[in-house]
Amino acid sequence: MTSSHPTKKQNDPHPVQQRICIQGYEGSFHQVAARHFFGKGIEVIPCDTFRDLIRLSMDKKQSGGGIMAIENSIAGSILPNYNLLQKSSLKVIGEVYLSISQNLLVNPGVTLSDIKEVHSHPMAILQCLDYLEKNNWKLVETEDTALSARHIHQHHSKHAAAIASKLAAELYDMEVLVPNIHTLKNNVTRFLVLQREKEAVDIPDANKASLYFQTNHSRGILAQVLGRIAEGGINLSKLQSMPIPGSNFKYGFYADMEFSTRNQLDAVMQSIASLTNNVKMFGIYKKGKVVKG
């Protein structure tokens, strides 16, 4: 299991507000995304699960917020994370689109001919099968890509490699023996940057909003909502349906809307108010760009 850090170290030079919760170990793609948004100096709090990430992100004594994966260009939406977000008091203040690069990492001096085993998370192994199957290596599934790198480093292994990020190689003094071994090169994960509601401030150049809404499920009601959004000149860049807990196959909707001005967004929200209920605005923020992992 990953070790969450529930208390601040006494000799930790970083104030609580400068510590960001991530899911996974140091060297994970969550940390790569956090560095892109906050800078390389950001300190991260590794969390076992997304639930732990949300819990610690809401605790002002522990962290300044969190960064959480929400969807992937290949695997799709991480639906449980939408539910975690809805039940929390966190606000979305930004996003990062991280182009995932899987790399073959080894201890210094290890060559391809030395490798007998490759360790990584099952998803990472799956993403790299075309490359891996060209070699007669034993594939060992682990709970985390960065953890695989750390274990191989700690055991000074001369016959094992890990699939992980370049950041993991940097943190654990390993070498990138073969970069970019993933099969599909267009593999992008979207991360949401989260902050406690009371501390979130308005972002002057915001051009994107994430929200949840329900309708009364009468015939054509969703089409009316979508029509008014389009009439308002707003681009609905994502619409994700989710069952309403306890209902008989009724659905709520998570939406991402891109706009030019805040007045434009406000006008559309007012326009759909009579057609929707249980509306929750997750955040109004600046649209992210794709960055390299």
Q: Tens of pLDDT along 175-219?
A: 999 999 999 989 999 999 999 999 999 998 999 999 999 998 889
151-184 residue pLDDT tens: 999 999 999 999 999 999 999 999 999 999 999 9
Rounded to an integer, what distance in angstroms lies between the CA atom of residue 227 and that of residue 211?
17
56-114 residue pLDDT tens: 999 999 999 999 999 999 889 999 999 999 999 999 999 999 999 999 999 999 999 99
Q: Where are the alpha helices (DSSP H) in 178-288?
A: 221-231, 262-272
Beta strands in 82-155 (DSSP E): 90-99, 103-106, 117-120, 138-141
119-141 residue pLDDT tens: 999 999 999 999 999 999 999 99
Q: What is the pLDDT of residue 84?
A: 96
CB 27 within 8 A of CB 168: yes
Q: What is the pLDDT of residue 245?
A: 84
User: Which CATH number is correct for 208-285, 3.40.50.720, 3.30.70.260, 3.40.50.2300, 2.40.70.10?
Assistant: 3.30.70.260
228-271 residue pLDDT tens: 999 999 999 999 999 988 888 889 999 999 999 999 999 999 99
Q: What is the pLDDT of residue 182?
A: 96
Tokens 């009579």 correspond to 274
Helix (H) or strand (E) holding 132: helix 129-132
Q: What is the pLDDT of residue 57?
A: 98
Structure tokens at 54: 């949300």
Q: What is the pLDDT of residue 11?
A: 43
Is it true that 16-99+187-201 and 103-178 share their CATH fold?
Answer: yes
Coil vs helix vs strand at 122: helix
User: Which CATH number is correct for 16-99+187-201, 3.40.190.10, 3.90.550.10, 3.40.309.10, 2.60.40.10?
Assistant: 3.40.190.10
39-51 residue pLDDT tens: 999 999 999 999 9
Q: Is the pLDDT of residue 10 over 70?
A: no
Q: Which residues of 107-145 are buried (b: 16+ CB within 10 A; e: fewer)?
A: beebeeeebeebbbbebbbbbbeebbeeeebebeebebb
Helix (H) or strand (E) holding 55: helix 50-57
Structure tokens at 209: 């909003």
Structure tokens at 224: 């009316």
Rounded to an integer, what distance in angstroms lies between the CA atom of residue 116 and that of residue 24?
26
Question: Read out DSSP for 63-79?
Answer: -S-EEEEEEETTTEE-H
Confidence of residue 293 (pLDDT cuts 50, 70, 90): confident
Q: Cα 34 to chain center, whole Å?
A: 9
Question: What are 90's strand-pairing partners?
Answer: 196
Q: Model's pTM, two decimal places?
A: 0.90
Tokens 């170990």 correspond to 25
Structure tokens at 272: 């759909």
Report, at the CATH architecture level, how domain 103-178 is classified: 3-Layer(aba) Sandwich (3.40)
